[in-house]
Structure 1
Amino acid sequence: MNTLTINASARDQAGSASSGRLRAEGRVPAVVYGKSKEPANLSVDAREFRMLLRAIGNNTPVVQLKADDADAVTAIIKEVQRHAIKDTYTHIDFQQVGAEELVVVDIPAHPVGESWGVKNENGTIETVAHTVSVRCLPKDIPTSIDADVTELKVGDSLHISQLPALEGVQYMDHPEQPVFAVVK
């Protein structure tokens, strides 16, 4: 797993007025919470956060969160709120996870290869489930689930039970749930 780091600063004040001042300064209000941690109010640089999201792309949003002088902690970006018109970030939720704590996360699923049905039968690969729910330790969180679709013909689908087995990762979705299908 490729983990990226983002710097944060503690903030004393909460509420819409102080959040508005932060946004005017180019910062985004945030909160970090976890099972064994009291929620803490933070702020992150909006430009740095935008670059972080670009680097993450369509992969699992696991980051190292470094707040002020404290050690970096592993966190998952749980929610990002955006302004509807200005296309700016208004708030971020981080969930801190412990090294030995099992977490359930949604991992993006990507088809790999060109299916037989697409190549020979003029079919189209359809993504039925864009993400797959897994349970694992933070160190075992995969960046994405890459599924080989080369054997699929028109009318075939690839199910959760057919996804590659990854060490330390347990699929939480129903085994018969389709992930990819080839349709005409």
Structure 2
Amino acid sequence: MSDHTIKATGRSDKGKGASRRLRHAAAIPAIVYGGNAEPKQIQLEHEKIWLASQNEWFYASILNLDIDGKVESVLLRDMQRHPYKQQIMHLDFQRVDANQALRASVPLHFLNQEKSPAGKSAEVVVTHELNEVTVSCLPKDLPEFIEVDLAALKQGDIVHLSDIKLPSGVEIPELKLGKEHDVAVVIAKAARTADEDETPAAEGDQK
């Protein structure tokens, strides 16, 4: 697990007016909550956080939140963006306990699709039904992403949640809820041909 440190400062001003002033000053109002401590209002530099937000790890990793020199382990739980400006309006961070399992969404990285029998065939369409998965694990075991190797994928194959090879200490809680929750992650199906697309209309014309 990589070390990702985000610097912040505490703030005492609250309310919409205070938040508006922060945004005008190129800062982001935010809150840290959870654990055994009280919720804490903080602010962060917009430019640095905007750059960090372009990376996958910002959303799926344990972050070291440095608040006035005191570091807390947190997960990003919510981000509010401006509807049309490139501006982050507010952030919610949740404290994590090193000894308690947490749930988080982790991105899926699909490998070797282009080398697979399905990927090499123009007659096969490969669809990714999921691009991330919710896992449960201790903070130290949280992966930044999970790799799904599609090297052997061929026409007709379906990769389910249960087929994903998980890192040690990581599990998918949804799989405990029953077989109906073992949903498809990747599907390789035959592409529809132009002749197939035209068949229903042709049959209709003959009637």
TM over 0.5, shorter chain: yes
Give the alignment of 1:12-51 within 5 angstroms.
12-51=12-51
Deviation at 1:123, TM superposition (A): 1.7
SS in 2 for 1:54: coil
Q: What residue is the counterpart of 2:196 in the other structure?
A: none
- The alignment status of 1:53 with 2:46, answered yes or no, reads no
Q: CA deviation at 1:3?
A: 2.9
**Considering only aligned residues, what root-mean-square deviation do their CA atoms show, in Å?**
1.7
Q: Structure 1 runs of 4+ off > 4 angstroms?
A: none
| Contact 1:111–1:180 (8 Å) recurs in 2 | no
Output the TM-score relative to the length of structure 1: 0.92
Secondary structure in 1 matching 2:54 = helix
Q: Secondary structure at the match of 2:121?
A: helix
**Comparing 136-145 with 54-63, which one deviates more in the overlay?**
54-63
TM-score by length of 2: 0.82
CA distance in 2, matches of 1:69, 1:60: 23
Distance 1:61 1:141 in 2: 7
Q: Distance in 1 between matches of 2:135 and 2:109?
A: 15
AA in 2 matched with 1:89: I
Matched, 1:180 2:186: yes
- The C-alpha deviation readout for 1:45-64, integer Å capped at 9, x for no partner, is 00110121124368624311
Q: 1:119 to 1:152 in 2, by over 3 A?
A: same
Using the TM superposition, name which of 113-122 and 15-24 deviates more: 113-122
- Of residues 34-43 and 88-97 in structure 1, the stretch that sits farther from structure 2 once superposed is 34-43
Separation in structure 2 between the aligned mates of residue 160 and residue 42 of structure 1, nearest angstrom: 38
Identify the structure with the greater helix proportion.
2
Percentage of matched positions with identical amino acids: 28
CA contact (8 A) 1:121 1:154 kept: no
Rounded to whole Å, the distance in 1 between the matches of 2:58 and 2:165 is 19
Distance in 1 of aligned mates of 2:74 and 2:173: 21
Q: Deviations over 1:10-42 (max 9, x none)?
A: 010111100011111110000001132211100
Q: Which residue of 1 aligns with 2:80?
A: 81
SS at match of 1:170: coil
Distance 2:166 2:79 in 1: 30
Between the aligned partners of 2:130 and 2:40, the Cα distance in structure 1 is 34
1:2 partner SS: coil
In structure 1, distance between residues paired with 2:93 and 2:174: 24
AA at the equivalent of 1:92: L
CA contact 1:4–1:52 (8 Å) conserved in 2 = no
Task: Please give the residue correspondences for 1:138-149 in structure 2 after superposition, counting only pairs within 5 Å.
Answer: 138-149=139-150
Rg larger for? 2
CA positional deviation for 1:133: 1.1
Q: Tell me the alpha carbon deviations over residues 137-165 of structure 1, each in whole angstroms, 9 at most, x when there is no partner.
A: 11100111101112221221111111113
Could you tell me which runs of 5 or more consecutive residues in structure 1 were left unpaired when the two chains were aligned.
Answer: none
* 1:105 matched to 2:111: no
CA distance in 1, matches of 2:58, 2:14: 31
- Bigger mean CA deviation after superposition, 109-118 or 139-148: 109-118
Indicate the residue corresponding to 1:168 in structure 2.
Answer: 169
Change (3 A) 1:85 1:54: closer
The superposition leaves residues 37-94 of structure 1 with CA deviations (integer Å, 9 ceiling, x where unpaired) of: 2111000000110121124368624311000021x11111111101112221110000
